[in-house]
Amino acid sequence: MLTLVEKILFVIGTLASLYYTYLGVMKIVGHIGSGQGKVNWSLIQKRIGELIVKVGLFQPVFRFRFWTSVLHAMIGWGFLSFLLINLGDLIYAFTGFKMLEHLGLFGDAYRLLADIFNVLIIFGMVAMAVRRFIFRPAILFVRDSTLLNPAARKGIMRDSAIVAGFIFIHNASRYLSESFALALENKTDVWQPTISAVSKLFVGANPVALTVGIHLAFWLSVGAVVAFLPYFPYSKHIHLFFAPINFALKPERKSIGQLSYINLDDQTIEQFGAAKMKDLGWEQILDSYACIMCLRCQEVCPAYNTGKILSPAALEINKRYHLNHGGATDVAMTELIPAEAVWACTSCGACVDICPVGNEPMRDILDIRRNLAMMESEFPKQLESAFKGMERNMNPWNISQADRMKWADGMKVPTVEQNPEPEILWWVGCAPATDVRAQKTAQAFAKILEAAGVNYAVLGKSESCTGDSARRAGREDIFFGLASQNVEILNEVAPKRIVTTCPHCLHTIKNEYPAFGGNYEVIHHTQLINELVGAGKISMNLDSDNMKVTFHDPCYLGRHNKITDAPREALKSAGALTIEMPRNSEKSFCCGAGGAQMWKEEEEGSGRVNEARFAEAKSTGADTIAVGCPFCLTMMVDAGKNEDSKIQVKDVAEIVAERLK
């Protein structure tokens, strides 16, 4: 189809384009390669099935913003189909051979697919452009109070316009080219129904004009791809390549919140955490290129939702724009995200969970905390009390270990000294052992275990804090000491199973102690309650009126450890009518206590996280908020007091214990 001159020009243009594209790609490879750690290439084979589902079906995208996700899928699936379509167009342009017309039924089906997706891409792109540039919903922008690279403020919109323009021109031109070709031959292709319909508009037009139109449309369509390629490494469209790489090669984790192991017995360690971007893992630098700038992580962030200056999206965007504008990876992380934003994170994991391309901004933040706390001694002063408590008395409340069993006074709670071979080791946790309100949860659970005749024991005065709060606050040294000590004790006891009423304890023992040589089966107390109900070991009095309960999913139970059904089943067995909050299960909104926030004041914002969550619970009309975490219990109780509300806040164990026969 192309003339000799056109072919020569196209080849020259393509070679130049590929050269500059190569330079951009190699710059990215260099940046990613400057990060820490090594790539485990064997993960690709292990994850190939999951990768096909995620990439082929855009499954992660559909977890949020459904109709926007549909539009994205129209464009994405269309682009996948156009890989072969564009190849066919190039072959035809250089040889005159129409590949898709000589592949039998496959070629027919593919032309039909091309026709349909051509329309869907154009429609989807126009709809997305209207949404971003005309309706301009607030969820697509970062507040002025949040640090965002100045180039990104305008650059994101410009990049979106370039990408939208490229996609529209490429597909509209290709559509017209096919229409002109059919009109020139005055024929209809049943496998291209919409293109055939449009071609009727041009039947009878000057053949020379149609031929020129076909050539012009080719240059606008395929030429747009050639022109776009050098810009591609610098655009958000690069996520087309880096999102699959993220899914395929991201290091294995037992949960989204599991942090990397640091052996503090290694005296050669000189750097803790991330002071500069190059101190991040290679996959964390890759995150900045995989980011599509959709701001979904920002939309679910409890800190951002309550007016704090933290935006996980802004962090990833700042990393990208710094690198794209000539910056190196030796930039200080606090130039990309202010310390105030770093300490506003609740480590709820919502940003990691919702990201459609597998990014982990929370991990960056916790690595920065490690550096600030361990290397710079820069952390909120309110945390000093909790740190001292964990160092001196093995718990952040700073209560003497001698008082660890006072909560069980008057109750028959056996210790491992009294029952050295229990079926269940109950890890009571610091809060139920030391906090007056949380002690009621421990007492209720002990009542349930006694009623069921469970063979269990507790560590008693030998139990210490798991170190969760220390680790999330960056004090890896305190965590290392507590974890090492606890694993040594647990390995001596050799528990068959461990049950805990605290999701933070569950998460740490189950997911992070294996790195210290402690591998245990750990369950949540609501899971054990369900087992006891199912085995007929406990029964409940269901004669009383159903209480209306809304269950608040703790972040470290639902999102971090995928335990969402057990608490609801336990409530159901107690005869409670569960009314769901809009944000529930793995999409639950944080209580505000995680990430060591329990021990410090919230950063300045438009509201408090726990009050925002309490208001959501109140809106359900429930008379009781059920929780499964001592931190959540404290935060919801405090929020209720501030509102002088009559809504009760109870742990699931309390509700079950109250209804035991």
Q: What is the CATH number of the domain that holds 315?
A: 1.10.1060.10
Cβ–Cβ < 8 Å for 631, 466: no
Q: What is the rounded CA–CA span in Å between residue 599 and residue 468? A: 12
% of the chain surpassing 70 pLDDT? 100
DSSP string, 1-67: ---HHHHHHHHHHHHHHHHHHHHHHHHHHHHHHTSBS---TTHHHHHHHHHHHHHHH-GGGGGS-HH
Q: Are residues 610 and 519 in the same domain?
A: no
Of residues 511, 550, 545, the one with CA closest to residue 628: 550
Kindly indicate the confidence band of residue 160, based on its pLDDT and cuts at 50, 70 and 90: very high
Residue at a domain's end among 333, 352, 374: 374
Residue 102 has pLDDT above 80, yes or no: yes
Q: What is the rounded CA–CA span in Å between residue 260 and residue 515? A: 9
Q: Is residue 30 part of a domain?
A: no
Q: Is residue 556 part of a domain?
A: yes
Q: What residue numbers bound the domain in which 359 lies?
A: 259-374
Phi, psi of 140 (to 5 degrees): -95, 5
Quick one: how far is CA 67 from the chain centroid?
A: 20
Secondary structure letter of residue 605 according to DSSP = -
Residue 166's pLDDT is 95
Of 79-83, 416-420, 469-473, 550-554, the range with the lowest mean pLDDT is: 79-83
Cβ–Cβ < 8 Å for 285, 588: no
| Domains identified in the chain, total number | 4
Burial of 447 (0-12, 13-18, 19+ CB in 10 A): middle
Q: Are residues 527 and 552 in the same domain?
A: no
Mean pLDDT of the chain: 95
- Can you read off the two tokens belonging to residue 292? 């599509």
Q: Is residue 4 part of a domain?
A: no
DSSP string, 351-366: HHHH-TT---HHHHHH
Cβ–Cβ < 8 Å for 388, 398: yes
Q: Are residues 184 and 70 in the same domain?
A: yes
CA angle 454, 458, 460 (to 5 degrees): 155
Average pLDDT of the residues in 12-23:
97
Average pLDDT of the residues in 470-493:
97
DSSP string, 515-539: GGT----EEEHHHHHHHHHHTTS--
Task: Render pLDDT for 212-242 as a digit per residue (tens, 0 to 9).
Answer: 999 999 999 999 999 999 999 999 999 999 9
Beta strands in 317-463 (DSSP E): 424-427, 456-458
Q: Are residues 424 and 335 in the same domain?
A: no
Question: In whole angstroms, how far apart are CA 539 and each of 138, 525, 634?
Answer: 50, 16, 29
Average pLDDT of the residues in 76-102:
89
- Can you read off the two tokens belonging to residue 247? 């899914």
Element at 90 (helix H, strand E): helix 66-95
Residue 268's pLDDT is 84
Q: What is the rounded CA–CA span in Å between residue 51 and residue 45? A: 10
Percent of the chain that is helix, strand, coil (3-state, to 5): 60, 5, 35
Task: Render pLDDT for 253-295 as a digit per residue (tens, 0 to 9).
Answer: 999 999 999 999 887 888 999 999 999 999 999 999 999 999 9
Residue 645's pLDDT is 86
Q: Are residues 71 and 184 in the same domain?
A: yes
Residue at a domain's end among 339, 374, 409: 374
Q: What is the rounded CA–CA span in Å between residue 574 and residue 547? A: 10
Residue in this structure with the two tokens 């750990």, named with its chain if needed: 522
Cβ–Cβ < 8 Å for 640, 573: no
Task: Render pLDDT for 366-392 as a digit per residue (tens, 0 to 9).
Answer: 999 999 999 999 999 999 999 999 999
Residues 6+ apart with CB under 8 A from 395: 389, 401, 430, 433, 434, 464, 465
Q: Is 331 helix (H, G, I), strand (E, B) or coil?
A: coil
Residue at a domain's end among 533, 564, 595: 533
Q: Is 383 helix (H, G, I), strand (E, B) or coil?
A: helix
Q: Is 495 helix (H, G, I), strand (E, B) or coil?
A: coil
Of residues 388, 378, 283, 384, the one with CA closest to residue 332: 378
Cβ–Cβ < 8 Å for 222, 93: yes
Q: Are residues 523 and 557 in the same domain?
A: no
Q: Are residues 205 and 237 in the same domain?
A: yes
Q: Are residues 502 and 579 in the same domain?
A: no
Of 99-113, 194-208, 546-560, the range with the lowest mean pLDDT is: 99-113
Residue 544's pLDDT is 61
Average pLDDT of the residues in 509-522:
97
Q: What is the rounded CA–CA span in Å between residue 358 and residue 291? A: 9
Q: Are residues 547 and 474 in the same domain?
A: no
Of residues 171, 263, 257, 186, the one with CA closest to residue 217: 171
Q: Are residues 527 and 557 in the same domain?
A: no
Residue 541 has pLDDT above 90, yes or no: no
Q: Are residues 524 and 544 in the same domain?
A: no
Q: What is the rounded CA–CA span in Å between residue 364 and residue 367? A: 5
